[in-house]
Amino acid sequence: MKTMIKLSFVMAAYAVVACVALAFVYIATAPKIAAAAQEELNASLRVVFSDASTFEDVTADGVGSGAGQIAIDRAYLAKKDGTTVGMVIQATGPTYKTSTVLVAVGMDRRIIGIKLLANSDTPGLGTKTAEPGFAGQFASKSVDDAFAVKADVQAISGATISSRGVAAIVRVAGRAAGNYLAAKAGGAVAPEGAASGGSDDGSTDADSGASEDDASTDAESGASEEAN
């Protein structure tokens, strides 16, 4: 019994010393780590919003969760010298398989740019939505546009479904950003009669039409490094 208590105290003493040492290191490195994480985020978001200098996470601040099968993952206010200049939303939705898109929207409810982050569609067909020829056409469109393929969005031939899916994600994310900016940051308000949320989003990918080959071909390739 006596040895047990003695051993416990010895053990506790080592643990306390280790914890105190770690606390000091943590306090010393925490601001650096936060700055590095913020810088990484800024760099990744500046790809779509080159004008902004910093980004503030407002995901939990009533941006909405998306519409239909399209989910809003994260939302950031883009700031330049302390004033809000727009918003970046990361949304994921069904395309041929699924895509995750960053959508940058300015204060005038116009899209600044989009970037495909993850795209599990057919390589060489559906993945072409990430190329400037397709992704670039969204810039300077108003978020209240219809984003209808073959009308105001030029589809990729052979990948109509992917094109539609990405356009739908951009529409949902763009409107969410426009509405958030109008409500909270003094952005331009949606014109009268504009569609508000895109309640028809789920249907865009339900169309038939096998314009792409089997989705099973795009299973993740390249095994990751051994984990043990």
Partner 1 sequence: MNKYFKLFTNGLLKENPLLVIMIGLCSSLAVTTNIWNGIGMGLAMTFVLLMSEIMISGFRKLIPNSIRIPVFIIIIAAFTTIVDLVMKAYTPALSKAMGVFIPLIVVNCIIMGRVESFSYKRTVPESILDALGMGLGYTWVLCVISIIREFLGAGSFFGMVILPEQYRVGFFSQSPGGFFVFGMLIAIAFAVNKAIEGRGGAK
Residues 6+ apart with CB under 8 A from 177: 63, 75, 86, 87, 88, 89, 103, 105, 143
> Measured from the CB of residue 19, what is the shortest distance to partner 1 in angstroms?
8
> Measured from the CB of residue 225, what is the shortest distance to partner 1 in angstroms?
5
8 class by beta-carbon count within 10 Å (0-12 exposed, 13-18 middle, 19+ buried):
exposed
Which one of 45-53, 63-71, 198-206, 217-225 is the stretch in contact with partner 1 (CB under 8 A)?
217-225
> Measured from the CB of residue 38, what is the shortest distance to partner 1 in angstroms?
11
89 class by beta-carbon count within 10 Å (0-12 exposed, 13-18 middle, 19+ buried):
buried
The count of residues interacting with partner 1 (CB under 8 A) is: 23
Nearest CB to partner 1, comparing residues 13 and 183: 13
Contact 162, 213 (CB under 8 A): no
Binding of residue 23 to partner 1 (CB under 8 A): no
- Among 81, 214, 220, 226, interactor with partner 1 by CB under 8 A: 226
> Measured from the CB of residue 41, what is the shortest distance to partner 1 in angstroms?
11
